[in-house]
Amino acid sequence: MGIAFLEPWVWLLAGATAVPIAIHLLSRDRSRRIRFPSVRFLKPTRLSAVTRRSIQDWPLLLLRIVLVLVAVAAWAGPVFVTPARQAAWTARVARAVVLDDRAAPPDDELRSARPGETFARERVRDAVHDALRWLDEQSATTREIVVLGAFKRGSVDAADFVDVPDGVGVRLVRTSDGGSRREREIIRLQLRGDRVVRVTEHLTLGTGATVVHEVAAAPVDVVPIRVDAPAGQRDEAEAALRAVLRRGLRLPPAGLMEPIALDWPGDVERLASDIETRLAAPLDGWEPDVMTDTELGALARPTRPVGAARPDDHGDRRALWAFVLLLLAVETWVRRGRAWA
């Protein structure tokens, strides 16, 4: 269990303990009058006050010092951070919702979360700055920024969260696919067993997964790729071509219009690269125009309680103020007891 103070600067007033010490040192004792039956044989003297040069009533002084210190502590607003109180603070989350796309409404979970506020600007970075200013005004110790949107490429990046301090969580929630779904059809040449077949596949590309469905596979009577090699390297070249075909060669969208011939480069990988270059089957337009879940996960940050931040309640100062009143009563009782003695 730890302790924190809502107004720690008040401890500067602890120097006020010098006040009761000065009072004890500077106070004067008045001469006490005693009734006596006869003053005939007493010499007349002048009544005078005696200034103290040392503290004579230590219990009363210590009581007053403790009274001042407890009053200062109560004013500082102590908060005893117990495990139960820490758990209660952690459970209170201040959540700021940033809209990457203004048309994307928060989902039911985020709409019902309290406290919460929604921010939308032309740039995500500006909205994040607005969210940070709002979070600084909240008393909850767990703080989070939730970004909602379709997350098209270029709309959000790590630079948008560079000013987010450690401990403030960042979560990116996709509200739509943003038109990222793609339907494609590809044609491949592949060696299956002892025969080369022309395979037609249907691809569905999304943000989370790519689904491949084979539509047709027709045998090819003549392989439209020839590798020319010296007499002593023909077997090696044919084996390399079979290895490349076993992997599969993607053809251009229009298919292979005419046979191609290549010189044996002496290496299987170089042969595969040369064939792909001659086939010229680009992937332009195949990649989704939105960020993947992996890319969004790299921008996320975990939430972490920031410790004994300023809570909503008044801490434990009420108990200390009650103790101050008790000490005042004791001090009054002790002081009057000294006067009556």
Same domain, 273 and 187: yes
Is 41 part of any domain?
Answer: no
**Whether 251 and 201 share a structural domain:** yes
CA–CA separation, 297 vs 315, rounded Å? 38
The reported pLDDT for the residue numbered 281 is: 67
Mean pLDDT to the nearest integer, 159-170: 91
Residues 171 and 187 in one domain: no
Whether residues 267 and 211 share a domain: the answer is yes
**pLDDT of amino acid 236:** 92
Span 104-122, average pLDDT:
63
> Is 240 domain-assigned?
yes
Q: Please say if the pLDDT value at position 161 is more than 90.
A: yes
Same-domain check for residues 66 and 152: no
C-alpha R_g of the chain? 43
Q: Is 9 helix (H, G, I), strand (E, B) or coil?
A: helix
pTM: 0.44
- pLDDT given at position 341: 47
Task: Return the minimum-mean-pLDDT range out of 28-32, 42-46, 236-240, 308-312.
Answer: 308-312
Count of helix runs (H) and strand runs (E) in the chain: 9, 14
Convert the pLDDT of each residue in 220-235 to its tens digit: 888 888 899 998 898 9
Q: Is the pLDDT of residue 216 over 80?
A: yes
Say whether both 171 and 211 belong to one domain: no
In whole numbers, what is the pLDDT of the chain averaged over residues? 78
Give the pLDDT confidence score for residue 129 in this predicted structure: 94
Domain assignment of residue 157, yes or no: yes
pLDDT at 284: 55
* pLDDT tens digits for range 97-112: 998 865 445 555 455 4
* pLDDT (0 to 100) of residue 309: 46
Statement to judge: residues 114 and 201 lie in one domain: no
Asked if the structure places residue 207 within a domain, the reply is yes
315 pLDDT higher than 80:
no
User: Is residue 65 in some structural domain?
Assistant: yes
- Do you find a cis peptide bond into 115, omega within 30 degrees of 0? yes
Same domain, 134 and 199: no
Residue with the larger pLDDT of the pair 96 and 178: 96
Q: What is the mean pLDDT of residues 305-328?
A: 71
Whole-number pLDDT of residue 217: 87
If asked whether residues 68 and 96 sit together in one domain, one would say no
Is 8 within 8 Å of 67 (Cβ atoms)? no
Please check whether residue 171 lies inside any domain of the structure.
yes
Asked if residue 120 belongs to a domain, the reply is yes
308: in domain: no
Task: Grade residue 130 by pLDDT with cuts at 50, 70 and 90.
Answer: very high
Looking at the structure of the chain, the number of domains it has is 3
Q: Which residue has the higher pLDDT, 82 or 64?
A: 64
Where does residue 283 rank: exposed (0-12), middle (13-18), buried (19+ CB within 10 A)?
exposed
Instruction: Specify the pairing of strand 28-29 against strand 50-51.
Output: antiparallel
Q: Is the pLDDT of residue 271 over 60?
A: yes
Q: Are residues 200 and 265 in the same domain?
A: yes
Question: Tokens standing for 240?
Answer: 């390399």
Could you tell me the two tokens for 22? 């000065």
Q: What is the pLDDT of residue 126?
A: 92
pLDDT at residue 292, rounded to an integer: 80
pLDDT value at residue 257: 64
d(CA 129, CA 160): 9
Same domain, 190 and 269: yes
- For residue 138, what are its two tokens? 């909240």
Question: Which DSSP state fits 128?
Answer: H
Q: What is the pLDDT of residue 102?
A: 54
Domain that holds residue 160: 92-178+292-299
Mean pLDDT is lowest, of 42-51, 161-170, 210-219, for 42-51
Residues 55 and 126 in one domain: no
pLDDT band at 172 (very low <50, low <70, confident <90, very high): very high
